[in-house]
Amino acid sequence: MDITKQNNNLYRNLIAYCKAVVIYDLTYHFCERFIAIGDRTKDQMIQAARSGKQNIVEGKAASLTSAESHLNLLGVARASFQELLEDYTDYLRTRKLRIWETDSKEVEAMRELGLTHTDSKFFLELAESRNDEVVANMAIVLLYQEDVLLRKHIEKQIARFVDDGGFRESLAKARKDKKRN
């Protein structure tokens, strides 16, 4: 397998990507069930979820040649998910629905599910029998987990760049090594 194919498949193994797929699917489901057709928020939420997921993919593809682009796109993914988090919080607040407290039993249970399950089907089946308040709070917990994952991934990529350098440096070293041999 060539390096491009290898690199393009690496994102599928990232927990942050798997969780991003869950967030996108759950958001799509939430919007279809609970937000009226024609409400601009519906499109905005779906687009923010899609943008978060897709920027992880694009960032991983860019990582082959540019650490800067990779980091930038991971930052965009994180920002998109922050926007989506705000939309879910706004949804609950404006409808006077409960936002789960950080130390509540619901958050603890959802955190555990978020740590042990990475497939959309599991969460969509859970969401199917829950009301809008519960599904929005489920998404909020997953978004907080996603933020931690992306932040750690960004920190790891920065450390790797500091230790190993970037694409240009690798090319220059390879060229020097070839000339030497």
pLDDT in tens, 160-178: 877 666 555 655 556 566 7
Tokens of 122: 């599991």
CA distance 177 to 181: 6
Predicted TM-score (pTM) of the model is 0.86
pLDDT of residue 1: 44
Share of the chain above pLDDT 70, in %: 86
For residue range 92-119, list pLDDT tens digits in order: 999 999 999 999 999 999 999 999 999 9
Confidence of residue 60 (pLDDT cuts 50, 70, 90): confident
